Amino acid sequence: MQVPTDPALTTHQRASRGARYWAPRIASAIIVPLLLLVGIEASLHLFGVGFSTELTEPCTVQGHAASCYNLFFPAPFFPPGMIKTPQAYSIPAQKPQETFRIFVLGESAAMGDPDPAYAFSRYLEVMLRERYPSMKFEVVNTGSVAINSHVLLPIAQGLAKQRPNLFIIYSGNNEVVGPYGPGTALTSSGMRMPVIRSSIFVRSTRIGQLLTKVGTEKREWTGMEMFLDKQVRASSPLMKYAYENFERNLRDTVDVARKSGARVIVSTVATNLKDCAPFGSQHREDLSPEDLRVWSGLVEQGSDMEAARSYSEALRLYQAAARVDGQYAELEFRIARSQWMLGEYGDAREHFVRARDLDTLRFRADSKINEINRAVATSSPGAELVDAEKIFSDSKDSNGIIGSELVYEHVHMTPLGNYLLARAMFLQIADKLPVEAGRPSDPGGVPSEEECEQLLAFTGHDRLRITNEMLQRLQRPPFTNQINHSDQILRLTLKAEGPSESPDETAAQYEWAIRKDPDDRVLHYNYGLFLFEHNRDAAVAQLRLSRPWDGFPVFTPDGMLVE
C-alpha cells in the first residue's frame, strides 16, 4: 500500500504527509501489542499464575515486620527444578540507630560452603561483636551456589533498599559456568550484555515464567559433573565477553551499593593452586598426530621419573613436552609440582597459576578475573580492596602458593582460610566504624581463630562431619578426573581419622556459645541437628528457635516438619 501523493506538492510536503500517514500506524503496531502484553501480565498476576522474583518479600520475625528472602528470586537464572538458594535470611524493617548492617555478596565460597555456619561472614560477625559490644552488627550473607555477577547485581539492587552500611563482594568463580556464562549448563550462553539483561527481564515476568515452564524440560541438579561437557579454552573468543560482562556487572553493583549510602569492599578470590589439579585440559588446536605422539611420549617418561622421585629429570621431560604443546593445563600442573618438590617456589607458582588459567573446566576465578576485581576496587569512588589472593599467598608456610591448608578443594575455604579473610575484613572495617561503635574492648588485637570458633561452636563433631562431607564430594566427577585425586582423598581420610570428642563435650560447647548469643539462629539449628541422635525433643526445641522468620518450614534430619 502506498501513501496517496499529489504531484503539485513539494518534496518536503510529501515527506510530511507521509510521516503523518505512517506515524499512527507504526505507533499502533507497537503500542497495541505492548498493551496486550501488559494486560496478559496483569491477568496472570491477578489469577495467581507465576510468582514475584523480587529479592525479598514482607514477613514477620517474632511478630515484628521484616523483609525475608524470596525463594523464587533465582527463577530467572535457573531451569525449572534446579533453583539454588542461599541460606534463608530476614532483615528487620526497623533498624535501630546503633545497628551496623553488612551485606555479603558472592557465590558458594562466600556463602561458606560446605557449611555456611562457618563462613567468613560468621567469623567477621563474632569478631565485631566481641570487640565492639556497644554496637549491634547485622551481617547478612546472601551468597549462593552456582550464581555469578549477573545475579549479584539484582541482589544488590534489592538490598540497597534495606539501609545498608557496608557491602562486601567476594565473587568471580562462576563467571564461565554460572548463568549466561560461555560454559554454563543452566541457561543459554550469553555474550552481549543487552541480550542477557533482556532475557533476565523477560524470565522475571509472569509471561516469561509461563513460557519457560511450557518450553523447558524439568531437570535435576547433579552438581559440578553437570558441566563436564562445557569446556572452554582460555583462548576462546567467548572469554572476552565473560570478562567484559563481569567487569560491567561488578562496576554496576558497586555503583548501586554506593548510591545506597553504603561503603563497599571488593575482594579478590583465593583459589587452590598447589593441591587442585586442572579439571579439564585440551591440546592446542593445530597439534599434528606426530607432535601428539612425541608429546605423549615425553609426558609418560616424565611421569615415570616423577614417580621415581627424579624430579629434575621429570621437569626436563615435561618442559620438552611443553615446547611441543604448551596449552595443556595438566602438563603445566606437572611442571609446577616438580618445581615445588625441587624447592623452586617462584617458578612453581608461575606454572600453578598457568595451570589454573588454562583449565578448560573453569570452576575457579582466573588471573584476569582477579585483575578486574582489583581494578574495580581501586578505581571506583567509595570502593575499597581486600586482596584475599595475596593474603592467602603470603600466609605462613605457603611459600607464596595457596594450597589445601586454606582452600579445601578448588575454591571453598577451610576454617583457617575463612578466619584469615574475616580478619582482613575486620581490620578494614574497624578503622572506619562510626563513633557510636565506641572504642574496641581490646584495642590490642583481633580475636584469635580459637576465640572465634568457640563463639561459633565449631566443635570437634562439626569438624569431623565437614571433613566426611568433603571426602564424599571428592568421590564424584570432576574431582575423580584430577591427576592428584588420590592425594586429595588421602589427605582428607587422615583428617577424618583424627580424635573425636564425646557428645557431652559437643553439647557443652554449643550451650556455652548459645549463652553468649541466645539470638543466633544458626547455633540453634546446628545444635538441633547434633541433638537429633541423642535427644529428639531437645533437638526439635532447638530447631524451632532456628526459624529465620515466622512460619518458615524447618525439618528434622528424618524429614519431619517442626511445628
Examine the pLDDT at 279 and tell me if it is beyond 80. yes
| Cα–Cα dist 365/114, whole Å | 18
- Looking at the chain, the whole-number percentage of residues with pLDDT higher than 70 is 90
What pLDDT digit, counting tens, does each position of 337-355 carry? 999 999 999 999 999 999 9
Please, what is the angle between helix 238-259 and helix 367-379, to 10°? Answer: 30
Residues 6+ positions from 33 with CB-CB distance below 8 Å: none
Phi, psi of 139 (to 5 degrees): -110, 110
Whole-number pLDDT of residue 432 = 86
| Cα–Cα dist 70/50, whole Å | 13
Whole-structure pTM value:
0.92
The answer to whether 50 touches 42, Cβ cutoff 8 Å, is: no
Dmax over CA atoms of the chain, in Å, equals 103
Kindly state the helix (H) or strand (E) to which residue 428 belongs, with its residue range. Answer: helix 415-430
Q: Which cell numbers hold the place of 324?
A: 611441543
Q: Grid coordinates 532475557 are at which residue?
A: 199
In the DSSP assignment, the letter for residue 447 is P
What pLDDT digit, counting tens, does each position of 16-38 carry? 655 555 556 565 666 656 566 55
Whole-number pLDDT of residue 353 = 98
Whole-number pLDDT of residue 209 = 78
Q: Which cell numbers hold the place of 192?
A: 552481549
56-275+364-433+446-458 CATH choice from 3.40.50.1110, 3.40.190.10, 3.40.50.1220, 3.30.70.3270: 3.40.50.1110
Given CATH 1.10.3470, say whether it is the number of domain 501-563: no
The answer to whether 207 touches 346, Cβ cutoff 8 Å, is: no
Mean pLDDT in residue range 157-172 = 97
Phi, psi of 501 (to 5 degrees): -120, 160
User: Rounded mean pLDDT of the chain?
Assistant: 91
Examine the pLDDT at 476 and tell me if it is beyond 80. yes
What pLDDT digit, counting tens, does each position of 79-122 carry? 877 888 889 999 999 998 889 999 999 999 999 999 999 999 99
Whole-number pLDDT of residue 392 = 98
The answer to whether 170 touches 105, Cβ cutoff 8 Å, is: yes
Mean pLDDT in residue range 174-190 = 88
Residues 6+ positions from 459 with CB-CB distance below 8 Å: 501, 505, 506, 509, 510, 530
What pLDDT digit, counting tens, does each position of 191-207 carry? 789 999 999 988 888 88
Whole-number pLDDT of residue 19 = 55
Examine the pLDDT at 458 and tell me if it is beyond 60. yes
Where residue 188 falls among pLDDT bands split at 50, 70, 90? confident
Mapping DSSP to helix (H, G, I), strand (E, B) and coil, where does residue 242 land?
helix
What pLDDT digit, counting tens, does each position of 34-80 carry? 566 556 656 656 665 678 899 999 999 999 999 999 999 999 998 87
- Least Cα distance to 528 among 551, 505, 553, 554 occurs for 554
| Cα–Cα dist 157/154, whole Å | 5
- Looking at the chain, the whole-number percentage of residues with pLDDT higher than 90 is 76
| Cα–Cα dist 519/521, whole Å | 6
Mapping DSSP to helix (H, G, I), strand (E, B) and coil, where does residue 213 land?
helix
Examine the pLDDT at 278 and tell me if it is beyond 80. yes
Whole-number pLDDT of residue 88 = 93
In the DSSP assignment, the letter for residue 555 is B
Whole-number pLDDT of residue 7 = 58
Written as one string, the DSSP assignment of 88-145 is --EEESS--TTEEEEEEEESHHHHTTT-GGGSHHHHHHHHHHHH-TTSEEEEEE---T
Mapping DSSP to helix (H, G, I), strand (E, B) and coil, where does residue 407 land?
strand
| Cα–Cα dist 318/325, whole Å | 10
* Alpha-carbon dihedral sign for residues 466, 471, 476, 478: positive
The answer to whether 279 touches 481, Cβ cutoff 8 Å, is: yes
Whole-number pLDDT of residue 221 = 82
Whole-number pLDDT of residue 85 = 84
| Cα–Cα dist 70/52, whole Å | 8
Where residue 181 falls among pLDDT bands split at 50, 70, 90? very high
| Cα–Cα dist 221/146, whole Å | 11
Q: Which amino acid is at 560?
A: M
Whole-number pLDDT of residue 563 = 81
| Cα–Cα dist 400/12, whole Å | 74
Where residue 434 falls among pLDDT bands split at 50, 70, 90? confident
What pLDDT digit, counting tens, does each position of 228-271 carry? 999 999 999 999 999 999 999 999 999 999 999 999 999 999 99
CA–CA–CA angle 99, 105, 111 (5° rounding): 100
Kindly state the helix (H) or strand (E) to which residue 267 belongs, with its residue range. Answer: strand 263-267
| Cα–Cα dist 133/136, whole Å | 7
Where residue 444 falls among pLDDT bands split at 50, 70, 90? low
Give the N- to C-terminal CA distance of the chain in Å, as an integer: 70
Where residue 542 falls among pLDDT bands split at 50, 70, 90? very high
Residue ranges of domains in the chain: 1-49, 56-275+364-433+446-458, 289-343, 501-563
| Cα–Cα dist 192/364, whole Å | 22
Alpha-carbon Rg for the chain in angstroms: 27
